[in-house]
A = this chain, B = another copy of it.
C-alpha cells in the first residue's frame, strides 16, 4: 500500500479527480496552492499533487466566500483559524469565530437582497401604471408630465432603464 516514495497515497486523489469532485479545474487548484489557500496533502516523487477528498469541503467554503465578493487573501485569513490548539489544529473558539463571521456576512447580504427585491417590486408596480399612460419618460428629463405634476419621482430602477 506504499509506493516507492514511502508515502501512502491511498484515499488521496490526483488533481484531476479532485477537481472533478470539487467542481473546479486544475489551474484554479494550482493557483490556490500558490496562495497557500488549499495545499495538496502530499506530492509524489514526480511532482504529482495528491489531495484529500475531504478537502472538497474546504474548497466549497472558499467558493461560497468568493461569491460574497471577498478576495482570496481575505478568505485565507478568515479560514486560517489563526489560534492553534495544543494538537496543532484550530481551537473550537477560532472555528466558532470563523463560522459566526461568515454568518454575519450572509445576513448582511440577505438584507441587501431583500431591499433590492422590494425596490424592483415597486418599480414593476409603477411600470404597470405607465403601461396605461400615454407618456413615456426619456433619458433627457427622467419624468413624464403627469408624474412631474403630482411630484412622484420615477423609481430609480425605472430611471436606470429608461435613460
Which residues does A use to contact B, with CB under 8 Å? 41, 52, 54-55, 57-58, 60-61, 64, 67, 69, 79, 81, 85, 87, 89-90, 92, 95-96, 98-100, 102-103, 106-107, 109-110, 112-114, 116-117, 120-121, 123-124, 127, 130-131, 136-140, 142, 156-163
Contact partners of A116 in chain B: CB under 8 A: 64, 106
The 10 closest A-B pairs by CB, nearest first: A57-B159, A61-B160, A54-B142, A57-B156, A57-B160, A58-B160, A95-B161, A103-B120, A92-B131, A106-B117
Taking a contact as CB atoms under 8 Å apart, the answer to whether B54 and A127 are in contact is: no
Taking a contact as CB atoms under 8 Å apart, the answer to whether A163 and B52 are in contact is: yes
Quote the shortest CB–CB distance from A83 to chain B (angstroms).
12
Across the two chains, which residue of chain B brings its CB closest to A143?
B54
Contact partners of A79 in chain B: CB under 8 A: 160-161
Contact partners of A120 in chain B: CB under 8 A: 99, 102-103, 106
Q: A41, A103, A113, A121 — which one has the most chain B CB atoms within 10 A of its CB?
A: A113
Contact partners of A99 in chain B: CB under 8 A: 120, 123-124, 127, 157, 161
**In the docked arrangement, what's the CA distance between A41 and B140, Å?**
9
Taking a contact as CB atoms under 8 Å apart, the answer to whether B127 and A161 are in contact is: no
